[in-house]
Amino acid sequence: MPAGKRVLIGIGGGIAAYKICEVISTLFKRGEQIRVILTQSAAEFITPLTVSTLSRHRAYCDRDFWQPVHSRPLHIELGEWAELFVIAPLTANMLGKLANGLADNLLTNTVLASRCPILLAPAMNTEMWEQVSVQRNWEQLFQDKRYHSIGPETGLLACDRFGAGRMAEPAAFLPAIQSILLTQGRRDLTGKHILISAGGTREHLDPVRFIGNPSTGKMGIALARAAFFRGAKVTLVCAPLVELEESLASSIAIIPVGSAAEMQQAMLDCFPSADWTVMAAAVGDFKPATYTPYKVPKHEIPPMLDLEPIPDILAQLGQQKQPHQRLIGFAAQTGDIVKPAMEKLERKNLDAIAANPIDLPNAGFGSETNQAIFIDRHGRKQEMSSRSKLELAHLLLDFVRGIS
């Protein structure tokens, strides 16, 4: 995440307010500047002392709003200061005020005095969330393109009801915040359907043994997150991978697969409706020639397995690609990464490829960071140093947008 971004957090009056403490702490550790506003009811759940300690800056409450003005009004200063405004938990009461442009406290006045993107995290009882009036306010609010959202999730609520209305978990806030800060809230992929593959395929010898690779799917998930927060309709075809947070899993179409054959079928089915397809999955090259439906005793496994090739999914997509579509591949390489990537781009009729090294520290399979060289069909190259996979995903989407 870019260092020193200015994040303003508004805390509403709900039991889920405790979750935002972890978000504040994590953002500070990442080097961001944090300011916090608590509503009067929020202070009944967590104290100003708690959030001021975590943010290393005084917390603002309604009593500060009504103090005599010694310089500029507080809500004006905070609204102009913020590069991103996070409101969590967003209560039904706060939602109604925002949807109708009402301002009767420091938080709502600061919303009207700001122009930055606003990330909302609703939290309320299921019956409250499902009320016609609440859903109307929710839909009305998003006529303003400043607003973005995560959640609500489905789960056990503080009222002991199981249903929709649970605030997103702290881990879901961080990629959302990073995406919005990186793009300044742009939804420049609205109207596009982006198809993404992720994870490593598995070719089973028997029910417990398989030929596979170390891919965790983190790069593909990062691409799905980035595309979603930029407004795209996202379909993620995923081999076994790391767990997705519910706020993302409920917002995109997910097709789970295991083998290359299953991924091939899913990709071919979805490809005709996709505007952009990014093949980030690590698909195997060979599979056992014979599958045994029971666990083969160890002494019966031959020392040399008969293998047969796996169809090249990316090449098949390249053959079917229409002029309006964009097809992007990945080339995980050791040593010289550019030459093999350019050959792959040409051979498989790609529009762009990301060549990434897997023999360098903190790059490639399983890492939280990655680096790459982007190459398009016109020979344009862009080298990306090591950075988070989410940031790299946004930069790749930017690169693809620049293909003429």
> Known catalytic residues?
159
Q: Locate 323 and state its tokens.
A: 């002029």
> CA distances (Å), 13 to each of 16, 99, 210, 265, 282, in order?
8, 17, 51, 48, 45
Of 198, 283, 287, 284, whose CA–CA distance to 241 is shortest? 198
> What are phi and psi for residue 254, nearest 5 degrees?
-120, 130
The DSSP secondary-structure symbol of 364 reads S
Q: Can you spell out the DSSP letters for 243-273?
A: PPPHHHHTTSEEEE--SHHHHHHHHHHHGGG
CA dist 154 and 166 (Å) reads 6
Mode of pairing for the β-strands spanning 118-122 and 84-90: parallel
Of 166, 164, 88, whose CA–CA distance to 126 is shortest? 164
User: How does 258-274 read in b/e, with b if 16+ C-beta sit within 10 Å?
Assistant: bbbebbbebbeebbeeb
Rounded to the nearest 10 degrees, the angle between the axes of helix 389-401 and helix 170-183 is 40
CB-CB neighbours of 298 under 10 Å: 7
Q: What is the 3-state secondary structure (H, E, C) of 217-232?
A: CHHHHHHHHHHHHCCC
CB-CB neighbours of 41 under 10 Å: 17
